[in-house]
């Protein structure tokens, strides 16, 4: 079993519990956005370095890129469609649908 994923979920749960209990100060809470942005940029940088060091990935970059593009487009498209359908079903039950 891959314990790394388990550690990620445990850290996520720990953060949720700490914030739910109100143990995070307002000052720290206001700084979370820039901290998250920095961590995301650092993660993207390290992923780019690892991709750049892998010769097989570089040699098949366009093939991988085409498949990733198709996957991303269909994921976005169907996410939008499903969210609209669920939203309309939920709001219809409440009688608040104002569709054009």
How confident is the chain (100 residues) per 10-residue block, as mean pLDDT? 87 92 88 93 94 86 87 96 90 61
Q: What is the dihedral of CA 17, 20, 23, 28, to 10 degrees?
A: 100
Q: Distance (Å, rounded) from C-alpha 37 to C-alpha 45? A: 12
3-class DSSP state of 76: helix
Query: What pLDDT is recorded for position 95?
Result: 61
Query: What pLDDT is recorded for position 93?
Result: 66
Q: Distance (Å, rounded) from C-alpha 85 to C-alpha 89? A: 6
pTM: 0.52
């Amino acid at each position: 079993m891959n314990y790394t994923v388990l550690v990620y979920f445990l850290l996520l749960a720990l953060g949720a519990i700490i914030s739910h209990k109100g143990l995070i100060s307002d000052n720290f809470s206001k700084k979370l956005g820039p901290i998250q942005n920095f961590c995301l940029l650092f993660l993207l940088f390290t992923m780019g370095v690892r991709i750049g060091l892998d010769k097989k990935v570089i040699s098949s970059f366009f093939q991988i890129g085409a498949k990733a593009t198709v996957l991303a487009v269909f994921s976005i498209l169907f996410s939008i469609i499903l969210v609209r359908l669920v939203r309309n079903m939920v709001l219809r039950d409440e009688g608040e649908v104002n569709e054009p």
